[in-house]
Structure 1
Amino acid sequence: MKKSSIVIAGGGSTFTPGIVMMLLDHLKRFPIRQIKFYDNDAQRQETIAKACAIVLRERAPEIEFSYTTDPQEAFTDIDFVMAHIRVGKYAMREKDEKIPMKYGVLGQETCGPGGIAYGMRSIGPIIEIIDYMEKYSPNAWMLNYSNPAAIVAEATRRIRPQSKIINICDMPVGIEERMAEILSLPNGRKDMDITYYGLNHFGWWTAIHDKQGNDLMPQIKAHVAKHGYIVNPDNHAETEASWNDTYAKAKDVYAIDPDTLPNTYLKYYLFPDYVFAHDNKNPDHTRANEVMEHRERNVFAAANDIINKNTAKDCAFHSDEHASYIIDLAEAITFNTNAKMLLIVKNDSAISNFDPTAMVEIPCIVNKNGYQKISIGEIPQFQKGLMEQQVSVEKLVVDAWINGSYQKLWQAISLSKTVPSVSVAKNILDDLIEANKDYWPILK
């Protein structure tokens, strides 16, 4: 049985231990001969890597492990690049969130001006990683789930159109697990067959059936109409308050189109006034601060504990269930399983009444040759209108990056449904340019 060689690009990420633990949990279906970490922050990566080395030594000593900041060492002799980089780390995320809030606009990691700022930082490094992969392991696949996935996917389509890259997002997976919990399905989301369409963080489920073909939508809709995606709260005590609010708000997002079930991120576009008022109660303490105080602190504390004890026994590292999605994808490519998965792909004619060049999130069949898109057909005017506006934002951001255009980026921010006016967009843009001067191309 083939054993794969993997490099995790973003080796210093707080999500990396969860990916490693999940890989170890699924070695029988996706065997591994080598894991490498790659990051441009050597010190940060070293802490995570030393802890993971101990985990691997104890649980799977047959797997070769290394970590490096050298591209040739990292990207030579690999089958998959699993990329989840965060350019500027949480310090820049904090600015992405807080700068728009100065002007009455919500600050969020992947939506609105904050997502645009993050996208402008991410494009260059993602292209760089693709080039390293193609130089040192030209037959490898890049499985990219670096945010903001919509902008990154549009950039890779335009700048590296022939590259072996598949863009994915695990947000629908998390929502589908909650749907499965609503239904008490024994095998979770894998007991469901879904139809979904949209853009990344901007989509809708139109059909959900069990494996026998029974319609599961009515039961899920009845729950969402009352509770959103909140389900069994006692079993989710670890869920942070901001996420609980997002899951609950799905009730109101659902109400605008009860023919479908919504992605939770639509709340940022359909209720920007609510989000700003709700999240602006303490403008000095945003989601980025919450993450730094909890996940960031906890993961590095767990890593240091493993290193200090020189054992991973009873450690606080846990499998990240969302990471199972990227393993499903790698398995489908390696073993030609023809798995049905949501991917972010060029539309062509999959959504027949939508921009053929748009990067849409739709079900695809994945095998050793890549993927084949499943036709969606025509979509309703409401969703089409929202998607046309948002995909224009994404395209304008990539235009701005490629051409170094201040005008295009101003247009992109102005067109975002989260921003009330062109003048507000300009004020935000000027502040973001100053904050990102070490990361963005020069805009003229």
Structure 2
Amino acid sequence: MALKVVVIGGGSSYTPEIIEGIIKRQHQFPVNEIALVDIEEGKEKLRIVSELAKRMIRHAGVPIELSHTIDRAEALQGADFVTVQIRVGGLKARALDEKIPLSHGLIGQETNGAGGMFKAFRTIPVMLDIARDIQKICPEAWLINFTNPAGIVTEALLKHGPHQKVVGVCNIPYNMKNSIAEIFGVDVNRVMIEFAGLNHFVFGKRVWIDGIDRTEETIEHLLNDHLGYSPSNIAALPWNRQFLRSLRMLPSPYHQYYYQHEDALAKDIEAYNNNGTRAETVMEVERQLFEKYKDAEIHEKPKELEGRGGAYYSESACSLMNSLYHHSMDIQTVNTLNKGSIPDLPDDAVIEVNSVITKSGPIPLTVGKLPAAICGPICLMKKFEQLVIEAAVTGDYNTTYSAMITNPLVSSDHKAQKVLDEMLEAHKRYLPQFFEEVCEHETK
């Protein structure tokens, strides 16, 4: 059976990652058609990425036909898998997500805190439109969501969208596994981590290598060797030794924003004062990447793409699609419905958890009740995520404010309202669901 994969956000600099992953698996995951889709503003980048992707396919000698278009409905015809990697408002909107909170002494980050909230607000309505198109045009297709904040967006799709064949993916669990493999000098496929929590707020409860529990050794390595596993978009801070001793679990790289809040904020403010926002840095990385992509002599993914922060995207997304297609029943870490895996959270909450991948979708493995040290923070973050989703769908100002003050990275009720109002105004173009509420609020 020949398969068609549609990549929405095809003009992204990440796209060569997924093209590489599909090419590598083509002998077992028989994709013969890829359609790259973007919007009018991304037309030129889409053309450049499409030409690079065609060179990659020709060089690999695989029978895949690749097309690109700005007509989403046309591209979705006959799709078996739809991957989505969009950024509503582009990197300019991300820069505001980072800059405005930082100007008030709050963490400015694209998927955490106030910045992550507003990325979700801009993204969720667009993703729901995409889901409606998929349900209408290719209802049997799997929607693989890589758009951040991945957990929040995936839950919004499953709760409010008509299309239920949705799975969220993130490269952070794979990054963590890969780093553990490097620590022990073994192949990554020999490493298994029991993950429990939420996207960008997940913990590694236990570590196995070749089926042998190596959790304590892993913690000792982290304690004594000052090792880390942060992606390139997060400058790692060393973990407090007592924190690791007490936790006895692996924190996510993103946990530094919560457990090392003051140091992370100081580091981000210093970086902003010296180099501008991370978004501005990424703009330069992207400019250089696209110059490389234009080179007709290049026929593989440039190594510089790893500096973009999306390393191992293809491993996460393509491994998932391959396993869904083959009913592999292997175990992967995905964002999916809880369904009782973590009793401390609602069954319809989306969690990041090890799951058995079947043709009918992921079956989450039972985690059990969360350890006391992480139960409170995870439950609080889930309440925050649910408020964000409600606000994104309804545009209600009070719900939006409640979401803001529920987030641990927003430390002041007064700052919360100032940042909220500034960001609503700054992103008004991309927030139609809030427009009437914003107008009403401004007249009071």
Assess if the C-alpha contact under 8 Å between 1:33 and 1:63 holds in 2: yes
Aligned to 2:97: 96
Aligned to 1:413: 404
| Cα distance in 2 between the residues matched to 1:379 and 1:337 | 28
Letter in 2 for 1:346: L
| Cα distance in 2 between the residues matched to 1:259 and 1:313 | 41
Letter in 2 for 1:273: E
Letter in 2 for 1:305: D
Assess if the C-alpha contact under 8 Å between 2:356 and 2:362 holds in 1: yes
The offset of 1:67, in angstroms, is 0.4
| Cα distance in 2 between the residues matched to 1:131 and 1:399 | 19
Question: Displaced runs of 4+ in structure 1, greater than 4 A?
Answer: 250-254, 313-320
Structure 1 residues 184 and 282: CA distance shift in structure 2, 3 A: closer
Structure 1 residues 258 and 330: CA distance shift in structure 2, 3 A: same
Structure 1 residues 80 and 340: CA distance shift in structure 2, 3 A: same
Residue deviations 1:173-202, cap 9 Å, x none?
Answer: 1111001100101x22x1122211001110
TM-score, structure 1 normalization: 0.91
Q: How does 1:268-417 map to 2 (within 5 A)?
A: 268-284=257-273, 285-294=276-285, 296-306=286-296, 309=297, 312=299, 320-417=311-408
The offset of 1:35, in angstroms, is 0.7
The offset of 1:337, in angstroms, is 0.7
Assess if the C-alpha contact under 8 Å between 1:203 and 1:262 holds in 2: yes
Query: RMSD in angstroms over aligned alpha carbons?
Result: 2.2
Counterpart check, 1:139 vs 2:140: yes
The offset of 1:221, in angstroms, is 0.9
Aligned match of 2:219 in 193, 218, 221?
221
The offset of 1:143, in angstroms, is 0.8
Which sits farther off after the overlay, 330-339 or 58-67?
58-67
Structure 1 unaligned residues grouped into runs of 5+? none
The offset of 1:368, in angstroms, is 1.0
| Cα distance in 1 between the residues matched to 2:300 and 2:142 | 33
3-state SS of 1:261 partner: coil
The offset of 1:250, in angstroms, is 4.2
Assess if the C-alpha contact under 8 Å between 1:17 and 1:52 holds in 2: yes
Q: How does 1:152-167 map to 2 (within 5 A)?
A: 152-160=153-161, 163-167=164-168
| Cα distance in 2 between the residues matched to 1:36 and 1:253 | 50
Letter in 2 for 1:110: T
3-state SS of 1:62 partner: coil
Assess if the C-alpha contact under 8 Å between 1:226 and 1:251 holds in 2: no
| Cα distance in 1 between the residues matched to 2:198 and 2:396 | 24
Counterpart check, 1:432 vs 2:419: no
Letter in 1 for 2:283: M
Structure 1 residues 138 and 11: CA distance shift in structure 2, 3 A: same
TM-score, structure 2 normalization: 0.91
The offset of 1:53, in angstroms, is 2.0
Structure 1 residues 23 and 228: CA distance shift in structure 2, 3 A: farther
| Percent identity (aligned) | 27
3-state SS of 1:249 partner: coil
Counterpart check, 1:442 vs 2:434: yes
